[in-house]
A and B are shown apart, each in its own frame.
Chain A
Amino acid sequence: MISKRLVEGVDDRLDASSFIARNLKKVFPDHWSFMLGELALYSFILLILTGTFLAMFYVASPDQITYRGPYEPLQGRSVSLAYNSVLHLTFEVRAGLVMRQTHHWSALVFMAAIVAHMLRVFFTGAFRKPREMSWLLGVGLVVSGIGAGFTGYSLPDDLLSGVGLRIAYSIAQSIPFVGNWLASVFFGGEFPGTALLPRLLALHIFIIPLAILGLMSAHLAIVWHQTHTQFKGPDRTNETVTGTPVWPKFALKSVGLGFVTFGVLTLLGGLFQINPVWFYGPYVPYSGPSPSQPDWYAGWLEGLLRLWPNWEFTIFGVTIGELFLPAIVVPGIMFTLLAAWPFLEARFSGDRGWHNFAQKPREAPLRSGLGAAAVALMVVLFLAGSNDVLAKYLQIEVDTFNTVLRWSAFVLPVAAGVATFLVCRDLRDRPRSPIARPEAMTVRRTTAGGFEELHEPRAGAAADDEARAP
């Protein structure tokens, strides 16, 4: 275990004592919202642990056999070895289902934590210099996370995942000049192809996790080096960081949070059914479940496909398929804007300063307004990704609902953006937050029997005012 001798022994060999002492004493600012990134980290750890277990059982083969396992509704059906291996894991391997469902839930929470973390960083301006690299790495993590999710839920070779792959094939086909070629080469021929599953597996359990691990390590190393931004407060400056040392309290709290995260995810995995592939049935090209939705983090992409008008055009004899814009160009632009945001903001605001203070959203009304508009657009697209289910639930025609969504995609972002901008600007320009405590005041009784007020600003008020300055 950890002992004085161990530390000395390490130092004797690695000359690490100054490194150890410096890092264990390093202080990190504390704020509840810093937990979001940690949630993503711990979900990823659980993804690796459960995923390793799943990989021991998965068979990446489309070859067909007759299902003879214990799940009666499918007995006698022709299924792929891949689907069969997932059913085997689910129904016959002890602790198999809890591992599989925990893996799926962890992926959903992983992406949710990343998105929440990204919103926190965006609206507090924590991406500004010197933290642009962390932002870029974070955008890389979002993209890798979506890729990991898509390849992951395509592996079981069930009916729902097959439909997703068919759409992916069509999207690849829509790329001018190389589309057919790319799709055919990657899938191993015309859809459904013969070579896909081993390739998806290589992507899902090796290439993408390695990318995530690399991006995450760099992201964390930079955070460790720079420490977080912090909100303004008494005695805090741009050149210093105020908080608690890593060892032991901060570390213990973080590990505690990790275990609670594991606990909640395993509870979800045990009690809440997710991706019941036995219920969808094996993939056959001529059938598709209705309704069919992707996992939540791909919902906005699905929504784009559903709302986009049926534009197909020909330029110099080259047909641009309908999918090319909503599935490739538009998401490409959106991710590019996301990645470029810190640099765009620096360029347009002219602010190239060095920022270690997190901002309140009101301190940057324009950014907050644009952010709110983007969030509103994503929400509309996300809802559009489930338009059939929602329309059924709301008891209106899908076509009517689509019209509402199409208008919303333009109106709501503008409304949310303008409203957020105005509210933030108003809050910024007030001298004091309307909900702040009243100023401390001493009242003195005069000899004449009256009262007089002695104005003495409460401690720290000056710093608050400074913090509120635009």
Chain B
Amino acid sequence: MSRPDRVVAGSFVVAILAAFGLFFVYLRGGQTQLEGALLFLTLGGIGVGLLVWAKRLMPQIVDETQSRHHAPVAEQEQQEAAETVMGGVDELKRRTFLSRLLVGAAGALGLAALFPIRSLGQVPGDTPFFTKWKRGSRLVDVGGNVVTTDTLNVDSFTTVFPEGSVGSADSQAVLIKVEPDLLQLPADRAEGAPEGLVCYSKVCTHAGCPLGLYLAADHELRCPCHQSTFNVLNGAKPVYGPAPRPLPQLLIEVDDDGSLVAKGDFTEPVGPAFWNITDGPP
């Protein structure tokens, strides 16, 4: 046996052995890394065997030259084909009225066929403008526990939902406690942040990711997706990154029992902008 012969034979033998190895591993309950290695050996063995066979054991073929059979066609042939096609088109066009009606029918059918798209789901209506927060909704954490004025220490934060809607994607909010005199909220919102507890929508106004990072030293919320950064002291105005609009604020107050409740829905629609966001609900 020549050397390439031995290499090819060896590769195929490795492939066979590895394939049996795969049976064995499988019967013993499987093991991911071994399966990967054995698949590599069996598939790679076949591949290497074929490559060496083709390259070393097949007669060296001298390059052959063939005509490219799609050379530019003879002018005349091309003309003929074009005339055949156009002949048919002209035949259709001769009946102007009928051909226009045909186009109309096809268009109407196309339009009719578009309508089932509507069946796929509900139209948005006014849902983008509202969340589940209502006046008096109690703030609860991810576990459903009522949040009170004592829940947070200064410079810490938690995710809150309206009671009964834990996990709601559009109602999620972050509650942050800061030193009250640091807050520089607009006058009409100052009443909505008792004891330095300020609450914003957790949905980033850039691409909708949940704002998971709070940089306590700078009093900034940062989005893990595209690094949009919001200053929680001044109404969550964007200070860095691609987010163009501030986070909607949830104005809150303290209930008689010390629990926190919302004074209403967020100050603006939550999440990224859509075309009629400034128009208000239809």
Which of chain A's residues have a CB closer than 8 A to the CB of B122? 184-185, 188-189
Q: How far is the CA of A53 from the CA of B153 in the complex (A)?
A: 51
Within 8 A of B (CB), among A164-212: 166-167, 169-171, 173-177, 179-181, 183-193, 195, 199
B104 located at the interface, meaning its Cβ lies under 8 Å from any Cβ of chain A in the complex: no
Q: How far is the CA of A176 from the CA of B68 in the complex (A)?
A: 50
- From B50, B118, B124, B243, contact of A259 by CB (8 A): B50
CB distance from A58 to the nearest CB of B (A): 19
Number of A-B contacts (CB under 8 A): 279
Within 8 A of B (CB), among A395-431: 398-399, 402
> Could you list 24 A-B pairs, sorted by A, with CB under 8 Å?
A26-B66, A163-B210, A166-B207, A180-B124, A184-B127, A185-B118, A185-B121, A188-B120, A195-B121, A227-B68, A240-B65, A241-B68, A242-B65, A249-B58, A260-B48, A285-B172, A286-B161, A286-B202, A312-B244, A317-B278, A318-B275, A319-B278, A320-B275, A323-B272
Which of chain A's residues have a CB closer than 8 A to the CB of B16? none
- From B55, B68, B121, B273, contact of A186 by CB (8 A): B121
How many residues of A are in contact with the other chain, CB < 8 A?
Answer: 100
* A179 and B36 contact, CB distance less than 8 A: no
A140 located at the interface, meaning its Cβ lies under 8 Å from any Cβ of chain B in the complex: no
Q: A177-B275, A180-B274 are in contact. Are A270 and B36 (CB under 8 A)?
A: yes
B64 located at the interface, meaning its Cβ lies under 8 Å from any Cβ of chain A in the complex: yes
Which of chain B's residues have a CB closer than 8 A to the CB of A248? 54, 58
CB distance from A271 to the nearest CB of B (A): 5
Within 8 A of A (CB), among B177-233: 202, 206-210, 212-213, 224-228
- From B49, B71, B278, contact of A239 by CB (8 A): B71
* B63 and A185 contact, CB distance less than 8 A: no
* A263 and B209 contact, CB distance less than 8 A: no
Q: How far is the CA of A323 from the CA of B213 in the complex (A)?
A: 22
Which of chain B's residues have a CB closer than 8 A to the CB of A245? 61, 64
Q: How far is the CA of A269 from the CA of B124 in the complex (A)?
A: 42
Which 10 A/B pairs are nearest by Cβ-Cβ distance?
Answer: A270-B36, A259-B47, A263-B44, A256-B50, A290-B224, A260-B47, A266-B39, A285-B169, A267-B40, A263-B43
* A312 and B48 contact, CB distance less than 8 A: no
Q: A185-B121, A312-B273, A387-B227 are in contact. Are A226 and B58 (CB under 8 A)?
A: no
Q: A167-B207, A241-B66, A243-B64 are in contact. Are A180 and B121 (CB under 8 A)?
A: no
How many residues of B are in contact with the other chain, CB < 8 A?
Answer: 82
B277 located at the interface, meaning its Cβ lies under 8 Å from any Cβ of chain A in the complex: yes
Starting from the known contacts A241-B68, A263-B43, 7 additional A-B residue pairs (CB-CB under 8 Å) come to A166-B209, A174-B273, A235-B65, A242-B64, A253-B51, A305-B242, A317-B278
Which of chain B's residues have a CB closer than 8 A to the CB of A252? 50-51, 53-54, 58
Which of chain A's residues have a CB closer than 8 A to the CB of B258? none
* A286 and B273 contact, CB distance less than 8 A: no
Residues of A within 8 A of B (CB): 26-27, 94-95, 97-98, 101-102, 130, 163, 166-167, 169-171, 173-177, 179-181, 183-193, 195, 199, 225-227, 235-236, 239-245, 248-249, 252-253, 255-264, 266-271, 284-292, 305-306, 308-312, 314, 317-323, 326, 354, 356, 387-388, 398-399, 402
* B54 and A322 contact, CB distance less than 8 A: no
Within 8 A of A (CB), among B237-271: 238, 240-245, 271
* Most chain A CB neighbours (cut-off 10 Å) among B55, B128, B213: B128
Which of chain B's residues have a CB closer than 8 A to the CB of A262? 39, 43-44, 47
B165-177 Cβ-contact flags toward A at 8 Å (1 or 0): 0011110100000
